[in-house]
Chain A
Amino acid sequence: MRQMREERKRDREEIRSLEGKVRQLESKDSRVETTTQQLQSTDQKLKETTLELQQTNLKVQTLQTKVDAPIASSQFGDAVQQYLGSHSFTVTGAAGGDFIYDQQSGALDDLHHASQNSFFFDWEPMILYRPADWILFEGVLSTAFGSSGTGVDLSLADFQIFLNKYMTVVAGLFDQPFGDWYENQSPMWVNRFVTAPLPFGVEPVVPPAELGVQLRGGMQFGALGQDLDYTAWVGNGPSFTSPVLGAIVTSPTAVANSQTNGKSFGGRFRIYPLPVDTEWGRLELGASTYNGKWANGNWFNSWGVDFNYFVGNLQTRGEWLSSYRQMPNGQASDNRQGWYVQAGYFLTGLKVPGLPDVINNYLRRFEPLVRYSGVNQRGVSIDDIQSATGVGLGGTQVGLVPDFGINGSPATYAPHSREVALGLDYWIAPSIVWQNEFDIELPQAGGVFVSSTGAQTPVGSVPNDHAFLSEFTIGF
């Protein structure tokens, strides 16, 4: 019994010892499992990190390839645009130098005789500033060396706000949107002649500029090219050098001084009836009106019609305009009419048989032109004719001496002036031209000279002058 108890005791101790070893083994196993899990987790993280590294390397390689590759031409514009920024400037405009030989065969009554030949130069940069795709600012400086020295003037300065597809607001100092001349044909490289037609020259029938606000737009009404457009505006109104018969309308800068209570209202409508995919050419028909009070209480009314047609090498255009000015103190009204028609033909494609190609290549660059213009008015202000306002004023200039784009002939100041202008342009590039013009002045008799006091004397004989003008012009 005793021996059995001792054996049992030893067995129990052995069992306890074995159980302890089992527990130790179990504990070790648990630690091994934990370590294994940690190792697996670390391994997973290592794999993920390796994958990310591979992807990063791939991205770096792709970017490096892009950086190393030359920029495609299609992307270059966008890259430059991005570099320049969203606000951008552009300078455009025109410059020209001319030589004028003016043979004044005789003077107007009591006025001096001023035949001369001279060189002149004019530079008219236009600055365009575009802060966004819905707004543009434009300004034009007119600078010139002329018969009266040098002159600098701001002839255009306005904001253009594109409200929507069919409405644009223009606010500031702008060319008068009356007819085609002031807005579209007056830039020196656009005008086919050196001088302006008589109704837009030294004795303009309607003011050349206005300070105010326009609403304008255009739309297609039929096939491609069949368009119509409108312009409506309100401004400071017309002003004249004096309250006498025959006084001229003032220059663009003087419209700022026309701060009277009588505002002006204008409207212009144009239609282009011919589609572009026909062979009929391009026809423009327009009508304009401009009305307002001058000197706070007297009416000025004007209206006009114009056309422009070109087909192939032929281009023709013309305008007719009329104005009525109510005069103060019971004076008879100051009525004026003016007109011009002109035609030009590009010799592009000409091939004269027998002439070498080199000569034909020169001939093809010529454009012969002819223009007939005239103004009718009852009287002209003698003070306006005698006083020269200088140069670079970008519009109306007076005086019996030639100036840039003005032949200065006394005949152009006659109350019933008429002019035939023959032109020969040589086109070096689409906007670089050497223009030559020969003017034949054919004024008709009649009319009066008006002094500053309003006294009237008959004009008497009017010389039939001739003038030659040659101008080199570049539009940039």
Chain B
Amino acid sequence: MKPIFVALILAALAIGTAGTRASAQEQDNMSPAEHKRLFREGAQLWPVYCNTCHNARPGSEKAPYEWDQIMMHMRTLGNLPPDDAKAILEYLKTR
């Protein structure tokens, strides 16, 4: 593989890993008010984004830890904006 491709991959991984750590930290440090804001936004997005492809499924169908994984899958499949995916996840986990 050409060195330029290796350098690009390493740079992308470095940027990506830093970003991921930051986002996980942000989620851990969210205030109750931020949780409420996300819930309200998720409640607005859930019927629209999910129904674009299939019937929106209620949060009570799955355990919160399962939604963590399913929303990662759906974020990729639907190319969802990350903040919107986070809001829908908050809504689904709160049920």
> Do they bind each other?
yes
Alpha-carbon separation in the docked complex, A255 to B13 (Å): 28
Q: CA–CA, A170 to B75, complex, Å? A: 12
Q: Which of B51-77 contact A (CB under 8 A)?
A: 51-58, 61-66, 68-70, 72-73, 75-77
Interchain CB contact under 8 A, B53 and A190 = yes
How big is the B interface, by class?
35 or more
B62 to chain A, nearest CB (A): 8
28 A-B residue pairs with CB within 8 Å: A77-B63, A77-B93, A80-B65, A90-B62, A90-B69, A92-B70, A133-B24, A134-B24, A162-B20, A163-B15, A163-B17, A163-B20, A165-B23, A165-B83, A168-B75, A180-B53, A216-B79, A217-B79, A218-B81, A219-B81, A220-B81, A224-B44, A224-B84, A229-B79, A282-B51, A284-B52, A430-B57, A431-B54
Is residue A310 within 8 Å, beta carbon to beta carbon, of the partner chain? yes
Q: Which of A6-14, A43-51, A181-189, A412-420 contacts B (4 or more CB under 8 A)?
A: A181-189
Check A167 against B72 for contact (C-beta < 8 Å): no
**Extra pairs beyond A128-B69, A161-B16, A162-B16 (7, CB < 8 Å):** A133-B20, A134-B24, A162-B75, A163-B12, A163-B19, A180-B53, A218-B80
Whether A164 lies near B20 (C-beta < 8 A) is yes
Q: How far is the CB of A163 from chain B (nearest CB, A)?
A: 3
Residue in B41, B44, B63, B82 whose Cβ sees the most chain A Cβ within 10 Å: B82
Cβ-closest chain B residue relative to A134: B20
Chain B nearest Cβ from A175, distance in angstroms: 9
Measured in the bound complex, the distance between the Cα atoms of B80 and A216 in whole Å is 10
Contact of B72 among A160, A270, A310 (CB under 8 A): A160
At the interface, yes or no: A81 with Cβ under 8 Å from chain B?
A: yes
A153 to B25, CA, bound (A): 40
B51–A310 touching, CB < 8 Å: yes
Chain A interface residue count, CB cutoff 8 Å, equals: 54
* Contact assessment for B76 and A168 in the assembled complex, using a CB-CB cutoff below 8 Å: yes
Q: Any chain B CB within 8 A of the CB of A102? A: no
Q: A430–B51 Cα gap in the complex (Å)?
A: 10
Q: Are B68 and A185 within 8 A (Cβ)? A: no
> Nearest residue in A to B14 (C-beta to C-beta)?
A163
In chain B, what residue has the closest Cβ to A130? B69
Contact (Cβ within 8 A) B48 A276: yes
Q: Mark each residue of chain A from 59 to 82: 1 if its CB lies under 8 Å from any CB of chain B, else 0.
A: 000000000000000000100110
- A332 proximal to B (CB < 8 A): no
Q: How far is the CB of B72 from chain A (nearest CB, A)?
A: 4
| B46, chain A: closest CB distance, angstroms | 10
A189 vs B93: C-alpha distance in the bound complex, in angstroms? 23
With a CB–CB cut-off of 8 A, which chain A residues contact B80? 218, 227
Chain B contacts of A220 at CB under 8 A? 81, 83-84
Nearest CB in chain A: distance from B82 CB, A: 4
In the docked arrangement, what's the CA distance between A80 and B54, Å?
29
CA gap between A128 and B72 in the complex, in Å: 9
